[in-house]
Amino acid sequence: MSNPLTMLGEEELAFRDLVADFAKNEIEPIRAAMDEEQKMRPDLVKKLFGLELMGIEVPEAYGGAGSTFFNAILVIEELSKVDPSVGVLVDVQNTLVDNCLVRWGSEEQKKTFLPQLCKGKVGAYALSEAGSGSDAFALATRATPKDGGYVLNGSKIFITSAQEAELFVVFATVDPAAGYKGITAFIVDRDMPGFTVSKKENKLGIRASSTCELSLADVFVGADRVLGEVGKGYKVAIETLNEGRIGIAAQMLGLAEGALSHALAYAQERKQFGKPIFSFQAVQMRLAECASKIEAARLMTYNAARLKDAGQPFIKEAAMAKYFTSQVAEWVASECLEIFGGYGFTKDYPAEKYFRDSKIGKIYEGTTFMQLQTIAKLL
């Protein structure tokens, strides 16, 4: 009997299968090249918009697909089975940037920016700074009131999708003395004077996903670019990241599933001592343990997503899903690499890429330690 958490309706199944076919046909052939080039192919990004995967939850009135958070999670999972770099591009767009605008944007902001984000503009979420990682609200970027708006000065680091993005949600403080109560979210265009996308990080994994520094030097934004209320940016950030963590869980879930599928196929093809290595009990046990941990990760991720869609409390479950699934992804990717033996250590097979990509799951959108701290507080 199927577990109710993993049962999908007909529409969900059809949507998932559509994305799976797209990933297989459009992403897999260029996966290795994008990883080597450290670049997301622009034509692929256009195709993501064409399939309405960049505005999944956005209401149709604003140009989106008008679908559910759960469907967004399914999309991230399916894309990440093939390439977690593409998965995180879609994840950040949907669970962070779109989500910010839908939940906190004024009606005018929604009408202006959501159609852009759904139809062609990549968005980025600019919170992290050199001095504010896990202590996310120790922001130094300053927003100084001036002439009906604000002047932004400061810098941001580790901003996902910054190379491709044209629209940024930037967090700055209007009053450092007020602590987190001074933090405010702003909508910033890439082409605003003084705004610069600078150093691109040379990363271990998810290399096709751009991660860059941002520089803001006297960037003027009008008061109409404040997202939510002045001084309430901390609330925007916290509540958005709670949902974003489920997206990262889905990315890591897909990564683990992708690694296992390749290891299973290889184990049935690779022969030693005159028979496929899958026939050896030691290999069977390792792959069975991978499959079991993946199923547990799936249950946790889907449960958190279903709770969110149902309007039920989900913060603890989101932290648990992100914590556990990132652990599983790294473990499974390592085990599956070893199934390939020496070939797993080469770029002839995707096992080494899944292994490299897996490490980031424990780090971004809240480290493992921060997830455990959140869980402990809610016990």
Q: What is the pLDDT of residues 308-321, one digit of tens each?
A: 999 999 999 999 99
pLDDT number for residue 5: 58
Predicted confidence band at 136 (pLDDT cuts at 50, 70, 90)?
confident
Q: Is residue 1 part of a domain?
A: no
How many domains are contained in the chain? 3
Which residues are 173's β-sheet partners? 142, 183
Q: Quick one: 168 and 73 in the same domain?
A: no
pLDDT number for residue 4: 55
**β-pairing, 183-189 with 149-160?**
unpaired
CATH classification of the domain holding 203:
2.40.110.10
Query: Which residues form the domain of 141?
Result: 124-231
Q: Quick one: 239 and 361 in the same domain?
A: yes
Whether the CB-CB separation of 132 and 139 falls below 8 Å is answered with yes
Predicted confidence band at 328 (pLDDT cuts at 50, 70, 90)?
very high
CATH classification of the domain holding 74:
1.10.540.10
pLDDT number for residue 2: 54
Q: Quick one: 215 and 299 in the same domain?
A: no
pLDDT number for residue 10: 85
pLDDT number for residue 154: 98
Distance CA 249, CA 69 (A): 13
pLDDT tens, 32-44?
Answer: 999 999 999 999 9
Active site residues: 365
Q: Is residue 5 part of a domain?
A: no
CATH classification of the domain holding 309:
1.20.140.10
pLDDT number for residue 1: 42
Whether the CB-CB separation of 104 and 185 falls below 8 Å is answered with yes
Predicted confidence band at 137 (pLDDT cuts at 50, 70, 90)?
confident
Q: Which of 121, 155, 173 is the last residue of a domain?
A: 121
pLDDT number for residue 348: 96
Distance CA 100, CA 95 (A): 8
Q: Which of 102, 121, 140 is the last residue of a domain?
A: 121
Q: Is residue 3 part of a domain?
A: no
* Cut 0.85: pTM above it: yes
Which residues, 6+ apart, have CB-to-CB distance to 372 below 8 Å? 319, 323
pLDDT at 339 over 60: yes
Q: Quick one: 302 and 340 in the same domain?
A: yes
Least confident of 8-12, 117-121, 341-345: 8-12
Q: Quick one: 221 and 270 in the same domain?
A: no
pLDDT at 331 over 80: yes
